[in-house]
Structure 1
Amino acid sequence: MFGANVVTADQYIAIVLPARMFKSAFASLGFCPIVLSRAVGATATPTSAIVPWNSCGAYMAATLGVGTFHYAPYALFSFMSPLVVIALAFLNIRMPRRPASAAQR
């Protein structure tokens, strides 16, 4: 999702595009839709503020009057949120699955 922020230069597209792309993959693995929602929300949303040419990064830099690379080291949430989601997925924590009958539809 961070890559989508870099390529698309807009947070909204970086949220919607990967969510649509991975919807069927998450469903075929039997995960509840909330897992995809958490993955997209925790990766695409906070990382958009640290991409200088992204609309969020440009807005933050203009509003704060500080370049993106200057405040990026202090944006711990932007870096930690994706790492926490990856760790939770790797450890299979809070990864609800659909019932078997719903996954086959």
Structure 2
Amino acid sequence: ENDTIKFSLETKTIVGHVSFDVGNIAMITGGNNLGRIGVIERREKHDGSHDIVHLKDNAGNKFATRLHNVFIIGTGTTALVTVPKSQGIRLSIVQERQRKLQ
């Protein structure tokens, strides 16, 4: 469930598989944390409701989102795809303002 495969378009074969496990790197595909990248710390199961996944980004910021917003992109801290220059880290309002003033 929620695993990711790496597919070669040239050979039309599956060349890799990454399971949805604690410690793997993931990208957020929806919700308020859209575009953020982090390592899965834990998963909370809620019967009859949405499961919640807790992640931590490279800057040490922790955030949580619904399970269906999480897309696994690699094992451990190594991504199978190219990540954005920002490393998927969301800056605070103060940090964003300081960056723009520089």
The two structures have a TM-score, normalised by structure 1, of 0.22
* Structure ranking higher on relative contact order (CA contacts 8 Å, 6+ apart): 1
Determine which structure has the larger strand proportion and give its number. 2
Determine which structure has the larger helix proportion and give its number. 1
The two structures have a TM-score, normalised by structure 2, of 0.22
